[in-house]
Amino acid sequence: MAGGQERILRGRIRSVQATKKITRAMELIAASRIVKAQQRVVAAVPYSNLITEVVRDLSAGGAGSNKPFLSGRPEVKTVCYIAVAADRGLCGGYNTGVLRATESQIKLDAAAGRNHLVVPIGRKAEGYFKFRGYKMSKAFNGFTDNPPYAIAKEIGEYVVELFISGQVDRVELVYTRFVSSGNQEVVQRPLVPLGAEVVEGGDGKNTAGANYEFEPDPDLILDTLLPRYVEARVYASLLNAAASEHAFRQRAMKSATDNAEEIINNLSRIMNRARQDSITTEIMEIVGGAEALSSDKN
């Protein structure tokens, strides 16, 4: 009997060891990718800073002050949420964080009588909102751990089109901001319209924008610039989200590896005890048998 239990335990230990190897590998992969993702976040900063500056200069120069794209629409009927989650799970609370934040915002909107439209980024986001029956537009999948600029461009163009055609009156970005490898936070940022707080939200530097020369005229520049600006913002958030995803995954896999180790420890302790027990009973049986034999002879 006891020997059978020992064999079962040995099998379980082996299976946990195999799992541990997998989680350890995923942890190491995620850790190495954080660095690369972080570098990409940093590399995107100069462009996004410059383009923000240019937009600010333009609007300070008085361009397009009456455009809905900048000043917004008087009545907001439909809010669009770009929810940036991951394609894969196994990353702790990363997906749930973003999805819950988006969902609670949608509920607030519903209470205020506004409609919603979700643009899910990543398979997990698509699955979540589809299952719960939220109004969804086109989904963007398959790149979240390493987002290329072309995808950000596609998403940017898509939401700008949604806004221009009047299907939505506001666009919000929900993503996980990468503060440091130990700290990420879910944030919600307005994307369109680029209200005053968006455009002036930079370093607060007040350049004398009114003195600029423009070629071609400011409104025309603004028309070509604003979509680029939206794309740059989307791109920055995708990069942040990717870096955060790797950080979350690394942490989740690290604790999974630690747990596996603990389980292995416990199981081997139980297994050793079981083996010891079976040996003890065996000896007892032999001793008992020998005793019985010797008492027979006497």
Q: Which is nearer to other proteins, 9 or 232 (CB)?
A: 232
Q: List CB contacts of 57: < 8 A, sequence separation 6 or more.
A: 207, 209, 212
Residue type, 26: M
Residue from 41, 91, 194, 238 carrying the catalytic annotation = 91
Task: Provide the minimum distance between the beta carbon of 208 and other proteins in the complex, in angstroms, as a whole number.
Answer: 8
Q: Which is nearer to other proteins, 223 or 261 (CB)?
A: 223
Task: Provide the minimum distance between the beta carbon of 214 and other proteins in the complex, in angstroms, as a whole number.
Answer: 5
How far apart are the C-alpha atoms of 255 and 93, rounded to whole Å?
Answer: 13
Q: Which is nearer to other proteins, 163 or 235 (CB)?
A: 235
Task: Provide the minimum distance between the beta carbon of 194 and other proteins in the complex, in angstroms, as a whole number.
Answer: 16
Q: Which is nearer to other proteins, 87 or 219 (CB)?
A: 219
Task: Provide the minimum distance between the beta carbon of 8 and other proteins in the complex, in angstroms, as a whole number.
Answer: 54
By CB atoms closer than 10 A (0-12, 13-18, 19+), residue 143 is middle
What's phi and psi for 223, nearest 5 deg?
-60, -40
Q: How far is CA 109 from the centre of its chain?
A: 23
How far apart are the C-alpha atoms of 65 and 74, rounded to whole Å?
Answer: 14
Task: Provide the minimum distance between the beta carbon of 40 and other proteins in the complex, in angstroms, as a whole number.
Answer: 7
CA dihedral 191, 143, 139, 92 (to 10 degrees): -80
Note the residue count of the chain.
298
What's phi and psi for 120, nearest 5 deg?
-80, 135
Q: Which is nearer to other proteins, 219 or 261 (CB)?
A: 219
> Is 91 a catalytic site residue?
yes
For residue 192, the cross-strand partners are 171
How far apart are the C-alpha atoms of 95 and 131, rounded to whole Å?
Answer: 15
Count of C-beta atoms within a 10 Å radius of residue 214: 14
Instruction: Enumerate the active-site residues.
Output: 91
